[in-house]
Amino acid sequence: MVSALGMTAVLGGCGSTGSSDVTLRLVAADYGDSAANSSKKYWDALAKEYEKQHSDVKVEVSVYSWNDVDRKVKEMVDAGHAPDMAQIGAYADYAAAGKLYPVSDLLSIRTQADFLSPLSDAGQWKHTQYGIPFAASTRVLFYNKTLFAKAHLTAPTTWDELAADATALKAQGVKYPYALPLGPEEAQAETMQWLLGGGNGGSGYTDDVGTYTIDSATNVETFTWLKDELVGKGLTGPVAPGKLNRAAAFAAFADGQVGMVNGHPTLIQQAAKKGVQFGTVPMPGRTGRARASMGVADWMMGFKQNGHAEQIGDFLDFVYSEKNVLDFSRKYGLLPVTSSASNTMAASDAAADKALRPFLEQLPTSELYPVGKTSWAAVSAAVKQNIGQAVAPGGSPAGVLTRLQSTAMAADSSSAS
């Protein structure tokens, strides 16, 4: 999961947008886990507040679960009935099809300037920003303080220390010394965090100019190390990494069965509910702290079909005010995507805000998936289905990464044609 944005040039109360009786339709994802905290309540309250100050604009919001929302928007667009705005998981396909407004056509300069730069950069397709970051998160290493104290361990700062800690935890009978979820639910996330920690600064899935480098020598070395030093030595638990999903890994951590796991902010509440005493540190790298944490963002976008650029922009300036960004972030335990809201949260003494600081500190220098590439969806799906084979007994890290690189290059070529 991920979080909200920025600062507004004009916070409502400024009267008409210059037209009358416009209805804006927004489709949004649900970040809640029950009817009581559904995002529908957040959006309805926000729309009502905006409409009070803009009598000529009505905002209709439809909220769908993450299982359905991307498909719902695609169906609407394919049927020729695009919403005015969508808050979903990806924007690049719609940008490439010419269906979205550039962000500069919508938002005030002040709002645009407030976004954290890695998120603004990730919202670009062909050097123009179309995706507006809405929600964000980063990853840190969670460790079970009780299990670590029992084994007289300190939190690791390098891969070798992580492996040594995992070995000591295994000797204490810990079920998952390190939980390595490379199953099909979210393997692309665990994979990227390890790639970013590889030797020579670890490049992730692409190089500095956006070319896929999945089978780079550094990445092959990373997965060879994982296969030989963690998986091969039985330090990743009784379930094979390729069959372990993130949800199951998080649940096992909350049950006290995991020594270490790479996690995002939702694990804080999940573990706390079960009474697990845990600590967090930056994810270790090959020889020290990883070059960057993996960041994740969800996206807001404005569709051109209905021609409401002025009204969409004014509403989104309101949505991305510091107050509204903070309200959403705090409600769902996510990170603000603007500097103003991030600075306010970082300075806060509230317990919930303080709990997010380890994640918040990493966001400005985090590295996101290559979401500006229309090929990324296909590449991500291939990673989810195949990366577990790279660390399986008899598996070939080089062979699996080479096949994934071929898939990526073919998908890139197809999307460009």
Burial class (CB in 10 A: 0-12, 13-18, 19+), 150: middle
Q: pLDDT per position in the chain (417 positions), as tens?
A: 333 322 222 223 333 344 458 999 999 999 987 788 899 999 999 999 999 999 999 999 999 998 899 999 999 999 999 999 999 999 999 999 999 999 999 999 999 999 999 999 999 999 999 999 999 999 999 999 999 999 999 999 999 999 999 999 999 999 999 999 999 989 999 999 999 999 776 779 999 888 999 999 999 999 999 999 999 999 998 999 999 999 999 999 999 999 999 999 989 989 999 999 999 999 999 998 888 889 999 999 999 999 999 999 999 999 999 999 999 999 998 999 999 999 999 999 999 999 999 999 999 889 999 999 999 989 999 999 999 999 999 999 999 999 999 999 999 988 765
Q: What is the 3-state secondary structure (H, E, C) of 372-410?
A: CCCCHHHHHHHHHHHHHHHHCCCCCHHHHHHHHHHHHHH
* 22-135+295-366: CATH topology: D-Maltodextrin-Binding Protein; domain 2 (3.40.190)
Domain ranges of the chain: 22-135+295-366, 138-292+369-414
- Give the Cβ contact number of residue 319 at 10 Å: 27
* Cα-based angle 64, 69, 72 (whole degrees, multiple of 5): 105
Q: Does domain 138-292+369-414 have CATH number 3.30.160.250?
A: no
Per the CB < 8 A criterion, the answer to whether 317 and 99 are in contact is: no
Per the CB < 8 A criterion, the answer to whether 372 and 299 are in contact is: no
Q: What is the DSSP letter of 6?
A: -
Fold agreement (22-135+295-366, 138-292+369-414): yes
The per-residue b/e assignment along 48-85, b for 16 or more CB within 10 angstroms, e otherwise, is eebeeebeebebebbbbeeeebbebbeebbeeeebbbb
> How distant, in Å, are the alpha carbons of 141, 203, 397 from that of 207?
25, 6, 20
Helix (H, G, I), strand (E, B) or coil at 334: coil
Pairing of strands 22-29, 57-64: parallel
As beta bridge partners, residue 173 has: none
Per the CB < 8 A criterion, the answer to whether 108 and 262 are in contact is: no
Per the CB < 8 A criterion, the answer to whether 141 and 279 are in contact is: no
Spatial distance between the Cα atoms of 2 and 127, rounded to a whole number of angstroms: 23
As beta bridge partners, residue 22 has: 57
Q: Which of 23, 19, 13, 22 shows the shortest CA–CA distance to 53? A: 13
